[in-house]
Amino acid sequence: MSLMGNAIDSLRFREALAHYASGITVISSHVDGEPIGFTCQSFYSVSMSPPLVSFSVMASSASYPKIRRAGRFAVNILSGEQVETSNQFARRGTDKWHGVHWQESPLGNPIIVGSLHWLDCEIHAEHAAGDHLIVIGEVRALNLQEVVATQPLLYFKGQYRNLAAHGA
């Protein structure tokens, strides 16, 4: 069936995309003596050589212009135990860093303690795409965090999910 010429209803489009499971990250930076961050599920790898990753952010984001000014960011890949961290960084107009323990990355970005993994990046490119910006970062440092949790924080059909246990 061809859909050429038919407008896609935005609610149905959003519902269709909800069927794609994704991990949850917090994109963070440090500018003017202040840590900046927001929850982001649209994160993915772009290239192995050079090592590039990408995330998408609303063009109207209040946080991203500060990150752009810093020219660098960290990707904090959240663990299954960090649901509240994800929720906290998704809120607007609050102190997102209240009660969050973090340390400084080699590039000076905030790394959230307890994350599964982090990537330290410099902004490589930015592209406008509809109501979002696609940001590409070149990875300059990375490290596995020493955490007990081994489950990633996943999002599917509007809810946080866990990986099902599987046998060897």
Structural domain span for residue 63: 21-156
Tens-place pLDDT, residues 103-120: 999 999 999 999 999 999
Residue pair 79/114 in contact by the 8 Å Cβ criterion: yes
Q: Angle at the Cα of 161 (from 156 to 166), degrees rounded to 5?
A: 115
- In CATH, what number is assigned to the domain containing residue 128? 2.30.110.10
User: What is the share, in percent, of the chain residues with pLDDT greater than 90?
Assistant: 70
Enter the tokens of residue 23.
């991990």
Residue pair 157/18 in contact by the 8 Å Cβ criterion: yes
pLDDT of residue 20: 84
Number of separate domains in the chain: 1
The answer to whether residue 142 sits within a structural domain is: yes
In angstroms, rounded to a whole number, what is the distance separating the alpha carbons of residues 103 and 99? 13
Q: For residue 97, give Cα distances in angstroms to 103, 108, 113.
A: 12, 16, 12
Tens-place pLDDT, residues 36-54: 999 999 999 999 999 999 9
The answer to whether residue 140 sits within a structural domain is: yes
The answer to whether residue 32 sits within a structural domain is: yes
